[in-house]
Amino acid sequence: MMRAVTRPAPAAAVPLVLVPALGLSQGGFSPDAWVWAGALAAWAAALGVVLSDDAGALRRAWPWLAAVGALLAWTIVSAFWSAHAEQSVLDARRTLCYAAVVLALAVLARPRGDRALVVATHAAITFVVVYALVRYLLGPHKQAEFEGYLLAEPLGYANAVGIVAVLGLLLASGIASRARTAGGRAAAAATVPLLALALQLSGSHASWLALAAGGGVALLLDEAPLRLARLAAVVAAPTVALVLLGRQSGLAGLPTPHVDGRVVALVAAACALAAAALAHRFARGTAAPRRIPARVMVVATVVGVGLALTAVVAYGAATEPRASYYRVAWHDEYTGHPVLGTGAGTFALYWSRSGHVASRGGALDVHSLYLETLAELGPVGLALLLAALLLPLRAVFAGSRSPYMPAAAAAYVAFLVHAGLDWDWEMPVVVVAALSCAAALVTGMLTARQRVGPVTRGAVLVAALVLGAFAIAGARSHTEPAAVALVKEAPPERGLVKTARLATGYDLP
């Protein structure tokens, strides 16, 4: 009996390279990271069309590519009416990096390559999170100036660690429930307790909300939800035990924790081994698949979106300083500029004039991607953003679904929910991981290899080279986030240097 030939999946190299590299570079927050990340992605796309006439996912993904390109163009154009043109151009540089990543993922996609994308994204996330845990548990227990004792490094932001861990958890669950071998099932399950511990130590409440939303999507879309539920039940004991230990240890909130980090590390290793052994022995799926009627899917989607929006708005409106950020973005920015917005990257300027800095501290972002886009880019910008983010979800309603589609969709929806509550868009490590999940959805719709004509190849090559050139040209820019510039001009007694470091991740002198 002949084995099925494993098809190459070059798109998997995008998350496998960029997620760890960005994760170890403060999550890619610094504009310097956008230079090499955008250039690498653009060059990968250029090489893809030069070395192969495979169309990849270009025919399936062209609406997605068009929406991302239009969002980039609108962000650049906003500099003409922006309250701070330099900040708008700076914001466009980050969006350019994302456009290059989407182009690379589309060009390098291959039929049935979604499994490789999901596995590669999970592996890259696991590397970053496990490195963060080892550094946190075995290193000195020191207080960061603004993150306290929470697990924040190497990303520099605890909430970013939380959502990255959530993406990894959802991908791990999908991989473990679908793995072809017992070894693959055990390897994926072993990461679940570690990722859950990182989520707990990050102290990110919004990430738990995103996990709940993603978990619901996974159960809704999986053709055999009992198989996924069985896996969750099997790994629940070691995972819950480790999360409770992390919570009771005091590591995330006390200068002298109740339990030494090295002890937690040993228990974490034991729990990972236990989860692997239990999944290897008991989590083999035999549940019969089932198909949810299209009408039920539509109703469930509408209800789910409504609940998610309600939860996001309620959480944001009930917590400070988010509620103050939202009021400034709505009243000071959007209502004063309802058509075009105030220009990309300008929230920090309006926040600095709001009178909240003394009591709430500095802030660079609204902590809601959607409200910030509406305030800065107007309704057109928000529509383009929503198109760019939601078009990959068309795969959910496709007639034939890939086995790994539920995991990719669950992780991607978790990102969409969390982006409504935090500044994920400013952390490229989070966005690149999420875009890789979105690309897995698009790739899952590919059924056969298709060739691309010379005209299309030439157009894609030009687009890739232009994106790469502009990404590199950004190295000549010395523009800093607005909050940094404001703080450097402020008198020391106002304490703005501290608050800007929290808002931007920059270590100012």
Is the omega angle on the peptide bond into residue 509 within 30 degrees of 0, that is, cis? no
Share of the chain above pLDDT 70, in %: 86
First to last CA, the chain: 67
Using the Cα atoms of residue 331, residue 335, residue 336 and residue 337 in order, give the sign of their dihedral: positive
Contact criterion met (CB below 8 Å) for 97 and 3: no
Helix axes 13-23, 428-443, angle to 10 degrees: 170
Contact criterion met (CB below 8 Å) for 2 and 17: no
**pLDDT for residue 27:** 94
| Minimum mean pLDDT range among 92-96, 312-316, 340-344 | 312-316
CA 479 to chain centre: 25
pLDDT band at 5 (very low <50, low <70, confident <90, very high): very low
Contact criterion met (CB below 8 Å) for 109 and 57: yes
pLDDT at residue 50 above 80? yes
Report the chain's C-alpha Rg in angstroms. 22
Q: What is the average per-residue pLDDT within 102-113?
A: 92
Beta bridge pairs of residue 451: 54
Contact criterion met (CB below 8 Å) for 481 and 348: yes
pLDDT at residue 6 above 50? no
Euclidean distance between CA atoms 210 and 217, whole angstroms: 11
Q: With DSSP H G I counted as helix, E B as strand and the rest as coil, what are the percentages for the chain, rounded to 5?
A: 70, 0, 25
Report which residue type is found at 144.
A
Euclidean distance between CA atoms 50 and 461, whole angstroms: 8
Euclidean distance between CA atoms 85 and 93, whole angstroms: 13
Euclidean distance between CA atoms 178 and 165, whole angstroms: 20
pLDDT band at 491 (very low <50, low <70, confident <90, very high): very low
Q: Specify which of 212-226, 266-280, 295-309 reaches the highest per-range mean pLDDT.
A: 266-280
Query: CB-based contacts of 60: which residues, under 8 Å, 6+ apart?
Result: 442, 445, 446
Beta bridge pairs of residue 54: 451
**pLDDT for residue 410:** 94
Residue 364, class by beta-carbon neighbours within 10 Å (0-12 exposed, 13-18 middle, 19+ buried)? buried
**DSSP designation for 334:** I
Q: Look up the pTM and report it.
A: 0.91
Q: What is the average per-residue pLDDT within 358-382?
A: 89
In this structure, what token pair is assigned to residue 175? 């991989």
In this structure, what token pair is assigned to residue 225? 């939800």
SS3 144: strand
pLDDT at residue 334 above 50? yes
pLDDT band at 435 (very low <50, low <70, confident <90, very high): very high
Euclidean distance between CA atoms 133 and 73, whole angstroms: 39
Selected residue with higher pLDDT from 369 and 446 = 369
Selected residue with higher pLDDT from 158 and 450 = 158
Q: Residue 54 — φ and ψ, nearest 5°?
A: -70, 130
Report which residue type is found at 293.
P
Contact criterion met (CB below 8 Å) for 242 and 268: yes
**pLDDT for residue 451:** 83
Q: Which of 391, 346, 222 is nearest to 232 (CA)?
A: 222
pLDDT at residue 487 above 60? no
| Minimum mean pLDDT range among 132-141, 159-168, 357-366 | 357-366
